[in-house]
Structure 1
């Protein structure tokens, strides 16, 4: 217990820069929402069935039959939307303050990738229930990919040939979160190294 208390005292003693305002909190808020997503996502792992004919029913059963399942599922859903909004707001604020300039270019680049990764998590999460909304969302995204110059049609064919709800599920719960964790690690490492930028 003393180790935890010592760690807390050390963190508490670190001074907060005088120029830090409410707008500097969006990075921490985004991290808090990611933690909520992980906790609620782990809970949902126990009840979700990644099979086309059972996915929607498993989510319905989780929401209606599991104690507080509706709350956990909706928290996961609401926080995913909030996460996208806070990460995007964080990027806009960083851009406004010109905090992407030297020596923080790498911090900015990892942040841009994190925005794209969070968007991927949102898109794959929408498809997991595999109801009518998920089906049409998938169809829309495939049509969009098809419009990409040169690579669009081959990529669409590859997605359609390899697509299964299992692949989508493991991509959503394992592959994308691990990539996000890697970018978060480097992002916070750079923030610790260079500190919080002052407004120009």
Structure 2
């Protein structure tokens, strides 16, 4: 499949980056990554002309590609450094994964929907994004690959999954949308083996985080 990333696309990304700066995204590595990742290639063809608007769009299987501000904010809150091990729960379209890989992390990403897993991992590899991708239940995480420096959840969880907390390094950061109908973006820091510090960031809206694996 031919992937086209034109000067026009790059210009639209540059404009999007400026919009994110106005929305208080200040991490230069995040802004550079958003400016580099061709978001239009992660969307269905009917939405491509809207790709660089700061909006979420459907990607099939009842899922969405998050709006760029949400991706940028979650990435900024993670405070990642190049070389860190990051677990992403919910590969989805692969866009957030691409942004994190652009930021230099060693990404481990898990997706429960087989249809999305196949599509997003194929696209990421075609675009040259190297990460480790798994089909599985996000509530369980990836215990065999743990511990992780950072964990990012890209779906709204009714509770904080205990298994994911145990896979976070001491001093590590987890970003999770918490709640059912109404969600709050939470930043959780592991203080020691038994203690976690929680901070509410802002209200948010994500698709629900579900158990199990869907093989279709």
Per the normalisation by structure 1, the TM-score is: 0.26
Larger Rg: 1
Per the normalisation by structure 2, the TM-score is: 0.24
Larger relative helix fraction: 1
Q: Which has the higher contact order (CA 8 A, sep 6+)?
A: 1
